[in-house]
Structure 1
Amino acid sequence: MKHVTILGGGIAGVEAAIYYRKEGFDVELISDRSYVFIYPTAIWIPVRTASFDDVAFPLDKLAARHGFKLTVERVAAIRQSDKTVTFESGETRRIDHLVIAIGAAKTKHDGIEHTLSICGAPEQSLLLKDRIEALVAKGGGKIAFGFGGNPNDPSGVRGGPGFELFFNLHHHLEKLGIRDKFEMTFFAPMASPGARMGEKALKLMDMMFKRNRFGAQYGKKIKRFEEKAVVFEDDSRLESDLTMFIPAGDGMDLIKNSDLPQNGAGFIRIDNYCEIEGVKGWYAVGDAAALEGPEWKAKQGHIAEVMARNAAHNSAIDAGFKPGEKKTYQDHLNILCVMDMGNGAGFVYRDDKKALLIPMPIVGHWLKIFWGWYYKLSKMGYIPRIPGM
């Protein structure tokens, strides 16, 4: 039985561990966290719709269920020249078959410590909850939510969760009867944030912003963050009692300091089969990898899962476990999400042929809740996986 080591216990790493086991590999998953954090449903923690335990579940239970080994450890260095991985414990291993699924770092901004992110460390979701509760107790305030871009790799933008939490907070404050006491503004450095969703989606988002009395500050680069403000390149200021900001993805220092092939942002260059360029038997999937494809491409969880499954399938062919043709990830590139708003949702889809945003009042919110439970139960193998989900 061939052995594969998977670095990363997020959505991509978990999918890789499950499917490499299905393909007959002996699997070790190495993660710096002991739990899986389901980022797409973390938007509900700050508004008390979900608890932290609803969004996280233990990796050891998943490992036991699927028969792979779990090691909780942090990686210190990776060298493709001699195929070694060094851990913070000091151990160095030669690894012939490796899957890198460690995610991405964040672009650096002056004063970022004055912000919190729904896509950052899982604990920040709880800090956001505390800050929101403090503002509710105060009776009002100014709230600024936003996200940034990375000119070296635009595919790492994470705008969707920012919009989702923004709408959920609006709904939460309305239920409390104090929405009129809050000034809510969304900001982004690009002129049309969300443009990758398509023109129809942009028009619908604009209508929703006007209907819900949201402010918007678009098209100005961020100069710095302060304790009570966002300062833009022209020195204009957006005053804020709470700033939630999602920096764009950037290559991790672990990768940037390695000899792995990288693009300008520090993401790992791969071929269409997810194999790292020039490194036989090593793969990169999910946010750690540099995507190729259409201009509107975006790194999303379902794309990370496709890449993980393809890596397992292609590795099994190379290992002689089965015949068949290798699978490519670029054939599956699309944007797909249910953008939750607390009392409904919008179904977003984009590929080369069409771009959709379909409003789904009430039922859309419950569909996203269903997906959260489906993710846990299907990953644990308690219910069958629905094709395409």
Structure 2
Amino acid sequence: MKRVIVVGSGFGGAASVRALRKVLDRTVEIVVVSPRPELIYYPGLIWIPTGARKPDDLRVNLTGFFRKNAASHHPGNIVGLEDGGRTVVTDNGSLTGDAVLIATGAASLRKLPGIEHSLSICSGIDEAVKIRERLAAMTRGTIAVGFAGNPEEPSAVRGGPVFEILFGMETWLRQKGLRHQVELVFFSPAAEPGNRLGPEAVRGLLAEMKRRGIDTRLGEKLVRFSETGVTTAQGEIPADLIVFTPGLRGADWIAGTDLERSPGGFIRAERTCQVPDRPHLFVVGDTGAFPGPDWMPKQGHSADLQADVAAANIKDFLEGRRGTRTFRVELVCVVDSLNSGTLVYRTPSRNFLLKSSLMHNAKAFFERRYLARYR
């Protein structure tokens, strides 16, 4: 029996299992390696601080999904690869497969001094809950919200959720009658934050901040954080709560392998999702550094597109053919503001925005539809 090992059960991993079972018959074994058989719906974290979501709304047990797709789960964390990438070494034993697909996501670039005084909306459920608790306790003061990229790899940035938590908190504070007592400041070392969304999106986001009375500190190099605020090269930003998402980097375990890595530490891969010169090894999602435009997003939608391509090319590989399918580069996101939203769409040939109060409901509908695949 042939075996495909999928490492990771987040967006890329879960989507890959689903895509693989669509193209492979059940004589091919699928084994998923991850700490828990669980998917966290990260796009929904923006709604936890304002109470629109509870943690269990976004946590999906994948045991039934794996059973339905004839996939087994191996609990453990990957610590390395052997045999040219055919053997996955974990802290709970090793497994060897005919093909291996890596979807372990990215790590955060937490280098700034005092970063422990900040909370990130992209770090998971626990930090989203801490933001909720801190926000609920505020009756006056200042909230500083910002993000940064990876200087070694500009595309390794997570800005969309930060805009969403900023606008979401502003809406919530107005609804609670507290906005006039709580100041909001958006900060970023980039002069044009969110430029991956396109020039029109940047102008629109900054205009929305101005309309909502949100102060901005842009293009200022970040120096450190403290209990009382943010220090930049140009001065201080006093804050009672700092919500900050740092840039992304490759996971630590990758550095211990002989895989070719990008400047940011991600696994270099082709548009076929294959690692160069290793036709049996595939990469999906944030783990990979793929050829494409500098705005190519690291988001769940990209992982879904890549999973379909990787699955088809794995099938070809197992049948003795070279997979040639490539994924399309497409950015699709809704920048939510709790009661409205702006759809941003970008491809190599198109870029447009659509702002509407219906977009909030559309984002919620997509969440329910997406999670229904795995529940």
Name the TM-score class by shorter chain.
over 0.9
Say which of 339, 343, 350 aligns to 2:339: 343
Alignment of 1:228-307 (within 5 A): 228-234=228-234, 236-307=235-306
Once residues 113 and 33 of structure 1 are traced to their aligned partners in structure 2, the CA distance between those partners, rounded to angstroms, is 26
Alpha-carbon distance change, 243 to 2 in structure 1, aligned in 2, over 3 angstroms? same
Deviation track 1:65-96 (CA, whole Å, cap 9, x = no partner) reads 3221122211222235363322213x233333
TM-score, with length taken from structure 2: 0.95
SS of the residue corresponding to residue 155 of structure 1 reads coil
Amino acid at match of 1:208: E
**Which residue is equivalent to 2:101?**
99
Q: Percent identity between the aligned chains?
A: 32
Q: Does 1:33 align with 2:36?
A: yes
Once residues 339 and 92 of structure 1 are traced to their aligned partners in structure 2, the CA distance between those partners, rounded to angstroms, is 41
SS of the residue corresponding to residue 17 of structure 2 reads helix
Alignment of 1:16-165 (within 5 A): 16-24=16-24, 25-79=28-82, 81=84, 83-89=86-92, 91-108=93-110, 109-135=112-138, 139-165=139-165
CA positional deviation for 1:178 = 0.9
Once residues 239 and 312 of structure 1 are traced to their aligned partners in structure 2, the CA distance between those partners, rounded to angstroms, is 49
Q: Is the 8 A contact 1:197 1:356 kept in 2?
A: no
CA positional deviation for 1:130 = 1.0
Once residues 204 and 275 of structure 2 are traced to their aligned partners in structure 1, the CA distance between those partners, rounded to angstroms, is 40
Identify the range of structure 1 (288-297 vs 45-54) with the bigger mean alpha-carbon deviation. Answer: 288-297
Amino acid at match of 1:111: G
**Which residue is equivalent to 2:9?**
9
Once residues 5 and 118 of structure 2 are traced to their aligned partners in structure 1, the CA distance between those partners, rounded to angstroms, is 35
Identify the range of structure 1 (167-176 vs 371-380) with the bigger mean alpha-carbon deviation. Answer: 371-380
**Which residue is equivalent to 1:366?**
361
Identify the range of structure 1 (169-178 vs 196-205) with the bigger mean alpha-carbon deviation. Answer: 196-205
**Which residue is equivalent to 2:373?**
378
CA positional deviation for 1:193 = 0.2
Amino acid at match of 1:306: L
**Which residue is equivalent to 1:353?**
349
The list of structure 1 runs, each at least 4 consecutive aligned residues, that deviate by more than 6 angstroms after superposition, is none
Q: Does 1:181 align with 2:181?
A: yes
SS of the residue corresponding to residue 146 of structure 1 reads strand
Identify the range of structure 1 (140-149 vs 64-73) with the bigger mean alpha-carbon deviation. Answer: 64-73
**Which residue is equivalent to 2:207?**
207
TM-score, with length taken from structure 1: 0.91
CA positional deviation for 1:17 = 0.9
SS of the residue corresponding to residue 137 of structure 2 reads helix
SS of the residue corresponding to residue 213 of structure 1 reads coil
**Which residue is equivalent to 1:385?**
none
Once residues 148 and 348 of structure 1 are traced to their aligned partners in structure 2, the CA distance between those partners, rounded to angstroms, is 20
SS of the residue corresponding to residue 358 of structure 1 reads strand
Once residues 190 and 83 of structure 2 are traced to their aligned partners in structure 1, the CA distance between those partners, rounded to angstroms, is 36
Alpha-carbon distance change, 304 to 194 in structure 1, aligned in 2, over 3 angstroms? same
Identify the range of structure 1 (68-77 vs 336-345) with the bigger mean alpha-carbon deviation. Answer: 68-77
CA positional deviation for 1:364 = 0.9
